[in-house]
């Protein structure tokens, strides 16, 4: 380093020096921010004594009318925003009611589903038992000796011929 060239380091905060110190927040709409900046500049013009004393009375009246118009527009905008907020709150309440109602019905359906599953298990068990009993009865008839079966057949044939 030579003495003719000083070593200056630029800090990150100095690099942003060219950027406007007023930064808009992401929640504020750009149109709203412009409106607020315009009102702020009008308020500064009215509050500055050097400009108000140099202007004639007619220019001050025009500024007053302009400010009154701006105030009126802001009031209208404020009422609109309040209505929108109320609408959003009501929609939020309705959404919550619908969600709660849906959850209640879901719980009731789950309860019914559990009851039906239990009933289905009982019926399946009863069906299996019934099939088992029927199977056991068939086995008993198969195990009957053939002679008795022939006798019964003969008796039925005789009764048919008699009638």
pLDDT (tens, 9 = 90+) of the chain, 163 residues, equals 445 555 545 555 445 545 455 554 556 678 788 888 888 888 887 777 555 455 567 888 888 999 999 999 999 999 999 999 999 999 999 999 999 999 999 999 999 999 999 999 999 999 988 888 888 776 655 555 555 555 566 667 767 766 6
Could you tell me where the DSSP H helices lie in the chain?
12-15, 30-47, 49-54, 57-142, 146-162
Q: What is the largest CA-CA distance in the chain?
A: 145
**Which of 147, 64, 125 lies closest to 133, judged by CA?**
125
Total tally of structural domains belonging to the chain: 1
Q: What pTM was estimated for this model as a whole?
A: 0.37
- Domain extent at residue 67: 27-152
Q: What is the CA radius of gyration of the chain?
A: 48
- CA-CA distances (angstroms) from residue 150 to 9, 97, 139, 147, 158? 120, 77, 18, 5, 12
The Cα–Cα gap between 44 and 46 comes to 5
In-domain check, residue 3: no
In-domain check, residue 4: no
In-domain check, residue 160: no
The Cα–Cα gap between 12 and 147 comes to 113
């Amino acid at each position: 380093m030579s003495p003719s060239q000083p070593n200056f380091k630029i800090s990150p905060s100095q690099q942003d020096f060219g950027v406007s110190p007023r930064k808009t927040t992401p929640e504020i709409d750009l149109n709203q921010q412009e409106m607020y900046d315009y009102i702020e500049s009008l308020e500064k013009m009215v509050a500055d004594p050097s400009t108000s004393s140099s202007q004639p009375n007619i220019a001050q009246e025009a500024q007053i009318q302009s400010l009154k118009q701006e105030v009126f527009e802001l009031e209208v905008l404020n009422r609109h925003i309040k209505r929108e907020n109320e609408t959003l709150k009501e929609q939020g309440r309705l959404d919550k009611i619908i969600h709660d109602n849906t959850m209640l019905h879901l719980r009731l359906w789950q309860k019914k589903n559990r009851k039906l599953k239990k009933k289905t298990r009982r019926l399946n068990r009863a069906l299996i038992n019934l099939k088992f009993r029927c199977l056991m009865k068939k086995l008993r008839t198969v195990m009957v000796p053939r002679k008795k079966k022939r006798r019964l057949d003969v008796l039925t044939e005789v009764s048919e011929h008699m009638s």
